[in-house]
Amino acid sequence: MKTVSVIGMGYIGLPTATLLASKGYQVAGMDVNPKVVDIINQGKIHIVEPDLDVAVHKAVESGKLKAFTSPQKADIFILAVPTPFLADKKPDMTYVRKAAESICTVLEAGNLVILESTSPIGATRVDVAEIIYAKRPELVGKLHIAHCPERVLPGQILRELVENDRVVGGVDEASTKTAADFYRTFVKGEVLETTSDTAEMAKLTENAFRDVNIAFANELSLICDKLGINVWELIRLANRHPRVNILQPGPGVGGHCIAVDPWFIVAAAPEEAKLIRTAREVNDGKPHWVVDKVMEAASKSATKPVIGLLGMAYKPDVDDLRESPSVEIAHALKRATNAEIIVCEPYVDAMNGFKLATLDETLAQANILVMLTDHKPFKDITLGQLAGKQIIDTRGTFERVMG
């Protein structure tokens, strides 16, 4: 059985390393953060993802997964580091380049290097292959280098890692084949072969597709608000058409993927990517619209307004606050009003700038209640608990309660 070194022990790297360990690979997980390495080596996890704690515990206990702060020799290297964007919305490839550089000291002829991070077109050739070959010119033609974008949905990572189809694209045909064969050893879905450029674009396209569709729902929510139409009922009805499937409006689009990746397409083809850019702008505009609605409610409040914000994570039942529209709304409200703001986020212990309240405290104190992230515990809120409050429901959660 081959050895695998996974660089980056985050939301993708850690579950991937764990899955590979469970399939019998000897896996070294590498992370620059010594605290993360410590936690993993204790068989524990530093992120929230269903069932991951048990799987990591098992993998570490079996001796198949061990974490390190420096890269270890292996047959296969998987780079799973973040690719955020810069202030000008252009991709920031610093982490990928650093990860590629970091493995140069341990690479050997015959190794397979896979970039899993969502990346702009050309990154596998330029930010991985060129970087490695500049440092290790004697390895030119002796490595296999490919892109296989991760496609898993946070909250369902362990299942989707195995079940989803994968797109694999090498910098040359031999790389494509070698990388695809590796994925076939642990993926139940189909492994589809292409070039590294097309694999990069495929991943960006998937997320841009979802972003455009969410933007459609968000735009509808603004239109319906203006026209006095219940957008949730409208979408339910329109979706009864056999070829219509509208997504759900929300407070905006968050996370480190869908709110980021479409910009990589815009950066690559700014003239052509009109719809993709507009969708980003529509979704980025939604939190401001929510803030305006809350301010309007506060101005109408008969008593001193106390604003209760429910859910800070970027989507239901995860603990991830990155690029979360709810967090943006909380900070914007703090800047815009002197009214008391109560923040409830059951999945995290602390949040910058706010003291977190329990759901009971929030329901007891707030007279303006804003549903931002519809976590499971919020779905049990009853009509009685909403009585006498102004409600701003960005997710349609209270529709069921209020009818």
Residue 253 vs 343, nearer CB to ligand SAJ: 253
- Residue 224 catalytic? no
| Span from 45-53, 123-131, 231-239, 252-260 in contact with ligand SAJ (CB under 6 A) | 252-260
Residue 45 vs 306, nearer CB to ligand SAJ: 45
Residue whose C-alpha is closest to residue 64's, from 150, 148, 1:
1
Residues 6+ away with beta carbon under 8 Å from 345: 311, 312, 313, 321, 351, 356, 373
What is the separation, in whole angstroms, between the first and last Cα of the chain? Answer: 58
27: its two tokens: 């896996």
Instruction: Compute how many residues bind ligand SAJ; rule: CB under 6 A.
Output: 20
Binding mask 110-149 for ligand SAJ (x = CB under 6 A): --------x-------------------------------
What is the dihedral sign for C-alpha 213, 257, 52, 1?
Answer: positive
Q: How far is the CB of 144 from ligand SAJ (least distance, A)?
A: 24
3: its two tokens: 């050895």
238 forms part of the interface with ligand SAJ (CB under 6 A): no
Residue whose C-alpha is closest to residue 288's, from 339, 329, 342, 323:
329
315 forms part of the interface with ligand SAJ (CB under 6 A): yes
37: its two tokens: 């390495």
The binder of ligand SAJ chosen from 102, 198, 248, 301 (CB under 6 A): 248
250 forms part of the interface with ligand SAJ (CB under 6 A): yes
Q: How far is the CB of 262 from ligand SAJ (least distance, A)?
A: 11
Q: What is the amino acid identity at position 200?
A: E
Measured in degrees and rounded to the nearest 5, phi and psi for residue 7 equal -100, 115
| Span from 42-50, 74-82, 244-252, 337-345 in contact with ligand SAJ (CB under 6 A) | 244-252
What is the dihedral sign for C-alpha 308, 309, 310, 312?
Answer: negative
Residues of this chain that interact with ligand SAJ (CB under 6 A) are 118, 150-154, 206-207, 210, 214, 247-248, 250, 253-255, 257-258, 314-315
Residues marked as catalytic: 203, 257
